[in-house]
Chains A and B, each alone.
Chain A
């Protein structure tokens, strides 16, 4: 036999230990080999396409913030990503984020592979951090994929023209594009809170389907709470309220209040969830598989 089985008589004094970045890269590679990742991407790309197609065959009218941009859809292709983000931000994108976040720890329980990776040369904390980063990366990719598809489809069909903001001012096309990119980036704040809830449920429940559905359940319950008359006082503190915080960017000048609020409100959800998940992951017995 070759050197493979030869005992390391003396280990090098400074054995090169794997970095968390290495573990993270492999978490992404594993995601890239899983069907659910593509199901999420497919859904993220599908809605903008459906929207663009449907707008070709219907009149444009509506109400509220979505309505204002719906009315502009055929005047500027840049209205499309705004409208699709308004629609997708409430349920579909949290679902896509939950699809991976709820699975990323629990799947290893189901496969019995947690014991496989925990008996190598990386610490539990490194694995946990890599998983959180991978789930967040996936959510961000899904958001920007949807935005990219919507922007391209919109611009190809309706052109690269200025938009009218919620304040009634005309915003140049390049500036609108920058605002759209920023809007999607700010939407990631509440979405990362969703990811954190998904990771916690994934770690605690050890059941992928349960964690995914549970994460959506939390979003749904919060949405219902927000719509119950008399509970309006709670609204600013609900995660679901933060799903639309990015719309502060649609005002001129930008209304930063909802965005700043969303940062700390989302932290109130994300930090305890991640901390609890981390502690559970660090101490839990890996008895399955």
Chain B
């Protein structure tokens, strides 16, 4: 491939990217496209293959099949050149514990070439590590390392920022700061590919998502489109939920019936819901509550990934996208 940058090529494209470890297909024919200006959420449960996919995109892991392109360049074929304009980290950012924060950045800037070294002071300021930069990274907290990871990425003045679970392990204030920073960087025109298993994070930040489960992309597209596809669900509470559950399960046009959070969750067209309410009354089951609920991203996510929502979502109030 030539040395000229294919301008206009999207920041990230994956073509049937696959990785097999022995019998395990960790990543199974992942296709996705991140367009310039996206804050792209790469969403999936732990172990879904997100990190392996990101490593393949950055040329750290050789795909078993398929390939990835960053701004039109394949890192497996073009090596470091394919990473021009690309920065970020996979899993936790790692540094040399025996060097100071600043020394680590100086080394990375040297490996970046260009004018990266001139940005060291400003990126340290940006992530609020300037006063601690004289200390060895070995003594840094997890949150400080995450911030140093962002600083190290910004040294490259990237056009594409790849962040793997950037808020993991941060305290609530740290998470908020991290999201604020990502939003700010995106506001300056940096394309962001953000991997996460945390729905609120993706919901808050991202406009487009790929949802992965067991190595496969189960949805790729805009969040709004995903929600629209999800349809409306209802929440039902009665004075005899056991009987109501049985009736609802048998009622025509009613789907996804299950006990949920001290009530019953179900979905269906308005007419079917109306018929169900009459059937409940006739059977002597009194309705205490019957309210429509827009599907939350959380519900859609669990539907797509086939996991039980009560497991992970219980304490996590996720607002419906309106």
Interface positions of A (Cβ within 8 A of B): 1-9, 11-12, 15-18, 22-23, 25-26, 29-30, 33-34, 111-113, 115-124, 283, 285-287, 289
Question: Beyond the given A7-B157, A112-B91, could you list 18 further A-B residue pairs with CB under 8 A, ordered by the A residue number?
Answer: A1-B122, A2-B126, A7-B159, A7-B189, A7-B190, A8-B157, A9-B159, A22-B110, A23-B110, A29-B107, A111-B96, A116-B93, A119-B88, A121-B112, A122-B111, A283-B62, A285-B55, A286-B60
> What distance in Å separates the Cβ of B53 from its nearest Cβ neighbour in chain A?
12
Pair B188/A5 contact, Cβ less than 8 Å: yes
- B108 proximity list for chain A (CB < 8 A): 116-117, 120
Nearest 3 pairs of A and B residues by beta carbon:
A112-B94, A120-B111, A4-B122
Contacting residues of chain B (77-128) with chain A, CB-CB under 8 angstroms: 79-80, 83-99, 107-108, 110-114, 119, 122-123, 125-126
Our count of residue pairs bridging A and B at CB distance below 8 angstroms stands at 139
Contact with A along B41-76 (1 / 0, CB 8 A): 000000000001001001111100000000000000
Q: A7-B159, A120-B156 are in contact. Are A1 and B184 (CB under 8 A)?
A: yes
Pair B60/A17 contact, Cβ less than 8 Å: no
Pair A26/B61 contact, Cβ less than 8 Å: no
The contact sample of 13 A-B pairs, CB cut-off 8 A, is A1-B126, A4-B122, A5-B157, A6-B157, A8-B157, A16-B114, A34-B98, A116-B89, A121-B113, A285-B62, A286-B55, A286-B60, A287-B61
Main secondary structure of the interface of A (DSSP, over half): loop
Pair B111/A5 contact, Cβ less than 8 Å: no
Chain B interface residue count: which class? 35 or more
Pair B119/A121 contact, Cβ less than 8 Å: no
Complex: chain B residue closest to A289, CB-CB: B94
**What is the CA–CA distance of A201 and B159 in the complex, to the nearest angstrom?**
38
Q: A4-B119, A18-B110, A23-B111 are in contact. Are A121 and B84 (CB under 8 A)?
A: yes
Q: A16-B113, A22-B111, A287-B61 are in contact. Are A4 and B123 (CB under 8 A)?
A: yes
**One of A1, A11, A118, A287 near B59 (C-beta < 8 A):** A118
> What distance in Å separates the Cβ of B3 from its nearest Cβ neighbour in chain A?
9
Q: A7-B157, A112-B94 are in contact. Are A119 and B87 (CB under 8 A)?
A: yes
**What is the CA–CA distance of A9 and B191 in the complex, to the nearest angstrom?**
12
> Is residue B14 within 8 Å, beta carbon to beta carbon, of the partner chain?
no
Pair B85/A11 contact, Cβ less than 8 Å: yes
Q: A112-B94, A117-B111, A283-B62 are in contact. Are A122 and B80 (CB under 8 A)?
A: yes
